[in-house]
Structure 1
Amino acid sequence: MAKKSKGNESEPLSNLDNENSNMKWPPNALFPLNLPSEKRNVKQEVIKDINSSENYLINTGFSSLGNIIDIFNADVDISTINSVRILLGSEPDSRPRKFWKRVDLQKEIKDYWLERGYSLLKGGNIIKTIEYIRTGKLHFKISDNFHAKLYIGESHAISGSSNFSKNGLSQQLEANARVHKNSIILFEKQQYEGMEQIAENYYKLGQDYKDEIIDLLEKLMSITSWEEALARAIAEILECNWFKEFPQLYEKLNNISLWPAQRYGLGQALYILQTQGCVLIADPTGSGKTKLISTLQLLLFYWLWESDRINKSYILTICPPIVQNNWHQESVDIGFAQSSQVSMGLLSHSHKCRHRNILKKNSNS
């Protein structure tokens, strides 16, 4: 078969690329085929059946890690699926790619893999696939000398020549038949039942391949460079994404009108407070320090409560008397009642009872 070049890759060039326009083919829903000119392929029917099934079973002689990763992160709605079981006839092709798509990962998953030194930029979809395997969404077995191709969904089954690979599902000339479980035709129902029984029996004969495929997937990922690790640390401080972990706080912050510089300042200031115990904010006049610091007090209060340091959550603002009302109004505007403001002038009058009370408040804050 001739091949056509596409960058550094080569794709099969079928004789059907120049096929007779009058050539007729049976419906793809009955006979899944790879016909580029008809804009149809086997993958369309397989994905449709997976997405309409809570449980799906695949028997394939060959697959590739790249195809598995792409399908279960881009084409399949994994959230609606209980499990997909895959029986392989040989170890999947594990050639690495230069770059994998970036994806959103849960924070605890990100932290786990970054602590092990893996690159999220180059392995996000790989990490998600590993998590699907560990949580039971994807199951893998392997069987020597296995060559059959069976795809069993809850309403349809496909059998034919297509492996669960990019070539088999979309590029090579293949021939497959698709039958309906609840067909009014008895013979078709019997075909479905027979294909399901065969696929289940073959799967039972396979050996568990969970640990091995996780190992192969991990080997695909690049080690994190120091540049990426540094960029991630800076982004976590500046972007303040951790606010989303506390829904009530996140909603309150969204209702506060903050300038971009104030939002960046919040993340930096709170990080310094958490790591050093104190922070100096020395922005110029008119830069919004009052709102920034008032909002920082709100964040600090939430953080102290979340870290079980309730006894340290008293907030006291000591400021010049001329701006005391401004500080009070800012706390009212952001809806933070746990902060009190006192004039710094009272600290100079040591003989007064209010002075002693302020010192006590200060020691409690």
Structure 2
Amino acid sequence: MPRKKPRIEPDDDLFRLGGQAGTGFVFQRLASQDWPEATRFPVNHAGSKVAAVVSADLEGTDDALIVTGFASIAEVIDLIAHREQRSTARQQEDGGGHGAGAGAVGEKGDRGRDQVRLLLGSEPFAGQRRSLGSPQAQFAQEVSSYWLERHGISLHLSAKIIQAQQALQDGRLQVRFVAGSTALHAKIYAADDAVTLGSGNFTHNGLRAQIEANVRFQRATAAPPAAGDAHEQSRQTAGPDGAVEGG
């Protein structure tokens, strides 16, 4: 006899949904709830993914900090590859590109504060992915020849891995591990202008497939003073003759 589909009540919340059905049903129901903006409360459900917010922050910043109990190697490698694409595009926009080899892996340049710092609570684990290629990756010819001829490694399938290795060698990817009996359980994703704290590990499930609870804070930007405030400030700084002091 087919299993009866759970009935959705108007006042369903996460507690009521517990134990009723699989993740797909729960995600659909969660998507119908009145959530805050995803940029303030990144969660996973049928209409939202934590990765859409957190990955954008980490890829778009110069200095990225990741603190997590668990991380998958594939997620770390993808992050490095996307940052490489961003850096290459930025160099080309700034006029630093000189053809297909510009910004290529194997050609070092001044990358400033461009770095990812990764603090882990456990050894990163490998996923099930068979390919970590990148059609956007640009490699110097001598780099391609080195990996294919000397090691038999195809950059077509392994481009992102080579990019991550290069980032490690250049010091743009720094990894630390908390050893000992005291476990690291925190999850913090910090960019130059935003930080996300919550429950989601830096894994496919934590970023896309599990029920997570995260909160994101953005750096406040100074708003321009209102017209009345600007007039009052100008009046208070004016001298006896009406001239503005300190100018």
> Aligned runs of 1:133-152 on 2, under 5 Å?
133-144=168-179, 145-152=183-190
Is 1:55 aligned to 2:63, yes or no?
Answer: yes
Post-superposition offset of 1:107: 1.6
Q: Which residue does 2:219 correspond to in 1?
A: 181
SS in 2 for 1:19: helix
C-alpha displacement of 1:64? 0.8
RMSD: 2.4
**Separation of aligned partners in 1, 2:30 and 2:115:** 42
Match of 1:73 among 62, 73, 81: 81
Check the 8 A contact 2:197/2:216 in 1, yes or no: yes
**Secondary structure in 2 aligned to 1:29?**
coil
Q: Is the 8 A contact 1:51 1:77 kept in 2?
A: no
Residue 97 of structure 1 aligns with which residue? 129
The one-letter amino acid paired with 1:105 is: F
Q: 2:41–2:213: 8 Å Cα contact kept in structure 1?
A: yes
CA distance in 2 between partners of 1:22 and 1:66 (Å): 31
The 2-side partners of 1:141 and 1:72 are apart by: 16
- For residue 24 of structure 1, the aligned residue among 29, 34, 59 is 34
In the alignment, is residue 108 of structure 1 matched against residue 142 of structure 2? yes
Q: Give the C-alpha shift of residue 137 in structure 1.
A: 2.1
CA distance in structure 2 between the partners assigned to 1:76 and 1:30 by the alignment: 27
Deviations 1:27-60 (A, max 9, x none): 1111111122x2x211111122224421111101
Structure having the larger proportion of residues in helix: 1
Q: Once the two structures are superposed, what CA deviation does each residue of 1:295-343 show, in whole Å capped at 9, x if it has no partner?
A: xxxxxxxxxxxxxxxxxxxxxxxxxxxxxxxxxxxxxxxxxxxxxxxxx
C-alpha distance in structure 1 between counterparts of 2:166 and 2:31, whole Å: 46
Aligned pairs (5 A) from 1:270-281:
none
Do the aligned partners of residues 29 and 102 (structure 1) sit closer, same or farther apart at CA in structure 2, a change above 3 Å counting? closer
Distance across 2 between alignment mates of 1:121 and 1:31: 37
Q: Report deviation, 1:146.
A: 1.3
CA distance in structure 1 between the aligned counterparts of 2:57 and 2:134, rounded to whole angstroms: 26
Q: CA deviation at 1:17?
A: 3.5
Aligned to 1:153: 191
Does the 8 Å contact 2:63/2:191 carry over to 1?
yes
Q: What is the SS of the residue equivalent to 1:69?
A: helix
Structure number, greater radius of gyration: 1
Count residues in correspondence. 171
Which consecutive residues of structure 1, in runs of 5 or more, have no partner in the other structure?
1-11, 185-365
Alpha-carbon separation, structure 2, partners of 1:182 and 1:154: 12
**Distance apart, 1:23 and its partner CA:** 1.9
Amino acid at match of 1:113: W
73 and 49 in structure 1: CA distance in 2 versus 1, 3 angstrom threshold: same
Q: CA deviation at 1:78?
A: 4.5
Q: Once the two structures are aligned, what percentage of the paired residues are identical?
A: 31
Q: TM-score, normalised by structure 2?
A: 0.61
The 1:163–1:49 alpha-carbon spacing in structure 2 relative to 1, beyond 3 Å, is: same
SS in 1 for 2:66: strand
Give matches, 1:223-242, under 5 Å.
none
SS in 2 for 1:30: coil
Paired residues of 1:34 and 1:170 also in contact (CA < 8 A): yes
From 136, 141, 156, the equivalent of 1:121 is 156
Gaps of at least 5 residues in structure 2 are: 1-21, 91-112, 223-247
Contact 1:72 1:78 in 2 (8 A): no
Q: Is the 8 A contact 1:14 1:172 kept in 2?
A: no
Q: Which has the higher contact order (CA 8 A, sep 6+)?
A: 2
Deviations along 1:224-278, one digit per CA (max 9) or x if unpaired, are xxxxxxxxxxxxxxxxxxxxxxxxxxxxxxxxxxxxxxxxxxxxxxxxxxxxxxx
Alignment correspondent of 2:118: 86
Q: Contact conserved, 2:133 with 2:155, CA < 8 A, in 1?
A: no
Asked if 1:165 is matched to 2:200, the reply is no
CA contact (8 A) 2:27 2:44 kept: no
Give the deviation of 1:161 after TM superposition.
Answer: 0.2
Q: Give the TM-score of the pair, scaled to structure 1.
A: 0.43
Instruction: Please tell me the residue identity of whatever aligns with 1:19.
Output: R
